[in-house]
Amino acid sequence: MLILLMAIALLGVLMTLGSLLRLHALPTGLSPLSDPVSAYGISRYRGLYRAQTLGTALGAAALALGLVVADVESAVPAVVALLVLAAARALISWVPMDGDGAPRSGTGRAHNLLAFGAFAAASVGGFMTGIAFGATGGLEGAAVACTALGWFMTAASALTLAAPLLSPLGRLFGLFERLIYVGMLAWMVVTAVTLLAR
């Protein structure tokens, strides 16, 4: 059962990564440095955007179940963080962001809350998985890696939040957000591989 769950988790990561790489290779007119990833969701390539959000949701849900099945010590907070991440990513592509110059809408505000919730859940999840692995014998190396990725995602999230407020950083909003994705996917892979090797 655990092997199947981790295969699903890694498949979800691959689905997310493949969709993101494809989106960045297409002639979208969007800048990876300045535009948010969510901008793909209001483009003609919204199907690929949805695929990557659903891939993350699938992977996070499988990891949450995997932590339970593997009977990892002190894993409840990590499981909750992964389930919040899964729910936020499953919903976000159905709740698109507001486009540039468009009036602010309830849908756009809901999108922002889901994005904030997903990134916060991933950052917290890194720390909580680190704590859970640290409490489980033989997983100290994975605990350090997950905690480091938690800090990485937290720093990238802080830069993403600060970018619109600080004009020199504003042009790099997209880059900072994409660093959160890097940390999130790396954390999911580390967690899956650790549970597979348990």
Q: What is the pLDDT of residues 7-39, one digit of tens each?
A: 999 999 999 999 999 999 999 999 999 999 999
The whole-model pTM stands at: 0.94
Domain that holds residue 87: 2-197
Range 81-100 average pLDDT: 95
Please list, in sequence order, all residues whose beta carbon lies within 8 angstroms of the beta carbon of residue 32, skipping any fewer than 6 positions away: 24, 174, 175, 178
* Total tally of structural domains belonging to the chain: 1
Range 59-76 average pLDDT: 96
User: How much is the pLDDT for 167?
Assistant: 81
User: How much is the pLDDT for 15?
Assistant: 98
Give the H or E element holding residue 142. Answer: helix 140-162
Q: Does 100 or 185 have the greater pLDDT score?
A: 185
